């Protein structure tokens, strides 16, 4: 079976889903019986536009054993999982996709065409290590266990009323994929050529919830969190974004970069913001101080329900 590549128009018709619950399966912070890890994974449970219950796993973490442990602790049933979405092809988001596909007997896996390409992190001394999808979790491994891999650069409706952004337009004047030191270089091999990696495969998931509004789920937001929200706003013709959950890659950023980002988020009218993973403590505190009433602390085991206000928002 070969991977499918889909092309879709950027002009979308958005149908409202009826409800959404997001469970954090993997994050660096752990405040419950779950384990923490430097990786990210979410379980999305929703009632779609047709009133059908659906399940999506968004990213599959970095440490397989701790992710599977957390799933057991949270009593996650994978038998009725609809699909997996890969936000981008880094090892901290892709470590357990094959295991999840095995548990379901095969399912659809959505990703950008660059997600499974070879990636490397290099330093000035010439040393390098692989930084992409780990061995055993790659395209051929997924196909071997019966997964249907759908590679896509365009916005796509993966379930009724649930979309992925596809490749995100980078319009912001200051956002960039990484905060690199002088000694670092990230590369990717595209069509046999090694080039600087701008993480063009970075994408987010979004949906519009009845009586609530649009929600956006991010992996690392290497395309820029402002660029990401602008793309969702443009695609859905939204005046505001209700909820943002996920990584923002503000870790190791300069004070000015964080300031511009935190201020820039104000244009979206967010009523819930729950950053995690690669956001970094310094940026998370600034977001909390700026958007305190909307801020929800995230961690492994955290459950956020779109139509319910979290009783304890910050621990």
Where helices occur in 192-299 by DSSP H, the ranges are: 225-236, 255-264, 281-290
Q: Where are the domains of the chain?
A: 12-305
43 neighbors 25 (Cβ within 8 angstroms): yes
202 neighbors 219 (Cβ within 8 angstroms): yes
**What pLDDT is attached to residue 182?**
78
**What pLDDT is attached to residue 11?**
54
What separation in angstroms does the CA of 25 have from each of 89, 218, 230?
18, 14, 27
238 neighbors 43 (Cβ within 8 angstroms): no
Distance of CA 51 to the CA centre of its chain: 25
pLDDT band at residue 1 using 50, 70 and 90 as cut-offs: very low
pLDDT band at residue 3 using 50, 70 and 90 as cut-offs: low
What superfamily would CATH give domain 12-305?
A: Ribonuclease Z/Hydroxyacylglutathione hydrolase-like (3.60.15.10)
Mean pLDDT of the chain: 94
pLDDT tens string 261-309? 999 999 999 999 999 999 999 999 999 999 999 999 999 999 999 999 8
**What pLDDT is attached to residue 2?**
43
CB neighbour burial string for 104-125, b if at least 16 within 10 angstroms, e if fewer: beebbbbbbbbbbbebbbbeee
Least confident of 111-115, 163-167, 175-179, 188-192: 175-179
pLDDT tens string 134-144? 999 999 999 99
Dist. CA 136–CA 239, nearest whole Å: 43
pLDDT greater than 90 at residue 6: no
């Amino acid at each position: 079976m070969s991977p499918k590549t889909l092309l879709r128009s950027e002009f979308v018709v958005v149908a409202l889903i009826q409800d959404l619950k997001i469970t954090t399966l993997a994050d660096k912070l752990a405040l419950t019986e779950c384990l923490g890890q430097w990786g990210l994974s979410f379980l999305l449970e929703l009632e779609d536009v047709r009133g059908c219950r659906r399940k999506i796993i968004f990213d599959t973490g970095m440490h397989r054993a701790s992710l599977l442990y957390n799933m057991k602790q949270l009593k996650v049933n994978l038998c009725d999982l609809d699909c997996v979405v890969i936000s981008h092809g880094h090892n901290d988001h892709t470590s357990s996709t094959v295991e999840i596909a095995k548990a379901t007997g095969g399912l659809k896996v959505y990703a950008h065409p660059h997600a499974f390409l070879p990636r490397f992190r290099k330093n000035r001394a010439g040393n390098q290590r692989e930084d992409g999808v780990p061995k055993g979790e790659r395209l051929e491994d997924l196909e071997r266990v019966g997964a249907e891999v759908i590679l896509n650069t365009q916005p796509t409706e993966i379930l009724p009323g649930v979309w992925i952004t596809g490749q995100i337009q980078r319009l912001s004047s200051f956002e960039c994929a990484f905060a690199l030191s002088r000694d670092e270089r990230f590369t990717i091999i595209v069509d046999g050529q090694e080039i600087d990696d701008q993480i063009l495969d970075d994408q987010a998931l979004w949906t519009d919830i009845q009586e609530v509004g649009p929600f956006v789920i991010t992996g690392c937001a290497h395309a820029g969190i402002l660029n990401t929200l602008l793309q969702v706003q443009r695609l859905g013709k939204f005046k505001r974004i209700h909820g943002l959950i996920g990584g923002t890659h503000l870790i190791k950023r300069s004070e000015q970069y964080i300031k511009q980002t935190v201020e820039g988020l104000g244009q979206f009218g967010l009523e819930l913001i729950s950053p995690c993973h690669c956001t970094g403590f310094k940026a998370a505190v600034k977001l909390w101080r700026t958007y305190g009433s909307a801020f929800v602390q995230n961690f492994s085991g955290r459950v956020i329900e779109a139509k319910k206000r979290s009783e304890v928002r910050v621990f």
